[in-house]
Amino acid sequence: MTTTTSTTSVSSSGGITVSGVGSGIDTSSIVTALVNAQKAPKQDQITAQLSTVGAQKSAVETVQSALEAFTTSLAALNDTNSFIGLAATSSNEGYVTATSSNTAAAGSYDVKVTKLATSSKVTTAAVSGGASTVMNTAATTLSITQANGKSLSVSLAANTTLSGVRDAINTQLQSSGVTANLVTDSSGASRLVLSSTTTGANTGMSVSGIDALAVDGTVQGSSSQAGYLGSLPQDAVYSIDGLDDMTSSSNTLTSAISGVSLTLTGVGSSTVTVASSTDDMKTSVQSFVTAYNTLITAINAQTAVSPTGATASTSTSATTTAGALTGDAGIRSLMASIQTQLTKSSTTSGNLSILSQLGVSTGEDGQLTLDDTKWTAAMTTNAGNVANLFVGTDGLLSRMTSVIDPYTQTGGILDTRIKGYAATVTDLDNQQTDLDSRMDALTTTLTAKYSAMDTLVAQLTATSTSVMTTLNALNTKSSS
């Protein structure tokens, strides 16, 4: 008796495929459908929770980063000097220019410039063959020394031409402030001219190493000999408020007047004034406004409800999309605490007690704007109180930082939430692994059952065929 059996094989993807040869039924599809029906509810739950938790974790991390950036901006501004608004000006910038720092004090200073600091420029003797003349037959070193003892060297390969010497100096000494060029006269003879950016007395240059290019930096050059051009380098000479002359190797003076940097630009006199500048104060206030608006934009992106679909409000196809933290009680509490500080009165800033008196107001979108007209009006009477409004223990910047710190610090409110989300993701991953294992076991069990059924059907079919064959044979003999 012939028995027909079903065929079971393992697919390349690892799943089990059962072909119902005996029954003619697609048992593989039945098993897949039953397993999927069993798996779907839990799988949908895990997938939805992973999506929600992942979005919330990302949104909280974004808020945390925005808060940290905001407090960093506040720390940079939280200095009285940021809101004093002192600026230095010069009555004649052809002689002196001036800038002030946060350590400057108001005052006026008469600056007289007698000499400017100068740098060294020297020339070699003329090389009659011009730029293409070979200056050395063997590799050598060209030395450049200054009167203050500073020494520089330039490596030259064998058979370097005069133009090659120039190029080697410019390449090897580009970070040392020494440059070279060639000057060629009508006869075709060329001179190597070296210039230094270092100013001050005793910075004159001398050159040695190749006889034809030797320069004595203490001798004045001429049409027939090497030496310095113009005059020897010198220090700047200046006086402040009629005090004895002072010297400087540089034309930039950073410590002559405390908190003020002077640049000497010409020989003559100028008055340098350090006084209040409401423009500088306004820049600091605007920096606060900008930092605050950046924070609000970042948080709104995570909490806003945005329209999607049709734009018409009456359209039935119009929908909305909520941010990952829309309606989040913790974020609402944070924003309320921050916004409260904007309207809280300061007790140490005199007549200027709240931010709105400076022309700073909150729009419908929660962002701040600075009104130029109101700012100008406020500066006529309250310029001296701006620093106390922003800086100090009771200042706006410190109060806002105190409100935000519990959220951003390590182990704080947001850090704890982020760790909680991470733990939830780990738990969901474990649930997914467990679900996959259970579904694999169910697939194996159902496959075995349906395979056995298919085998039994095949056997019954074979038996039925055999019996019918025997009966047909008997009927044939009886008829004959």
DSSP state string for 198-244: EESTT--EEEESSGGG-B-TTSB--SSS-EESSS----EEEEETTPP
pLDDT at 275: 83
Q: List the single range of 89-93, 219-223, 345-349, 389-393 with lowest mean pLDDT.
A: 345-349
Higher pLDDT, 319 or 343: 343
Q: Is residue 338 predicted with pLDDT exceeding 50?
A: yes
Instruction: Report the distance separating Cα 120 and Cα 146, nearest Å.
Output: 9
Q: Is residue 123 predicted with pLDDT exceeding 90?
A: yes
Buried b (16+ CB within 10 A) or exposed e, 301-315: bbbeeeeeeeeeeee
Burial of 469 (0-12, 13-18, 19+ CB in 10 A): exposed
Q: Which residues pair with 307 in a beta bridge?
A: 320
Instruction: Report the distance separating Cα 122 and Cα 214, nearest Å.
Output: 10
CA quadruple 388, 391, 397, 402: dihedral positive or negative? negative
CA quadruple 229, 231, 234, 239: dihedral positive or negative? negative
Higher pLDDT, 117 or 460: 117
Residue 418: closest CA among 65, 92, 130: 65
pLDDT at 400: 93
Contact at 8 Å (CB) between 88 and 99? yes
Encode pLDDT of 232-270 as tens digits: 999 999 999 999 999 999 999 999 999 899 999 999 999
Query: What is residue 39's three-state secondary structure?
Result: helix
Give the distance from CA 243 to its chain's centroid: 48
Contact at 8 Å (CB) between 271 and 111? yes
Q: Is residue 451 predicted with pLDDT exceeding 90?
A: no
Instruction: Report the distance separating Cα 323 and Cα 437, nearest Å.
Output: 35
Q: Is residue 479 predicted with pLDDT exceeding 50?
A: yes
**314 φψ region: left (φ > 0), alpha (ψ -120 to 50), beta (else):** alpha
Strand 107-115 and strand 268-276: the pairing is antiparallel
Q: What percentage of the chain carries pLDDT values higher than 70? A: 91
pLDDT band at 313 (very low <50, low <70, confident <90, very high): low
End-to-end CA distance of the chain: 26
| Rounded average pLDDT over 205-226 | 93
Instruction: Report the distance separating Cα 476 and Cα 83, nearest Å.
Output: 119
pLDDT band at 18 (very low <50, low <70, confident <90, very high): very low
pLDDT at 102: 65
Q: Which residues pair with 90 in a beta bridge?
A: 272
CA angle, 68 as apex, 74 and 53 as ends, to 5°?
A: 150
Q: What is the pLDDT of the chain when averaged over all its residues?
A: 87
| Rounded average pLDDT over 322-333 | 88
The CB-side HSE value for 6 (13 A sphere, CA atoms) comes to 26
Q: Is residue 111 predicted with pLDDT exceeding 70?
A: yes
pLDDT band at 21 (very low <50, low <70, confident <90, very high): low
Higher pLDDT, 17 or 40: 40
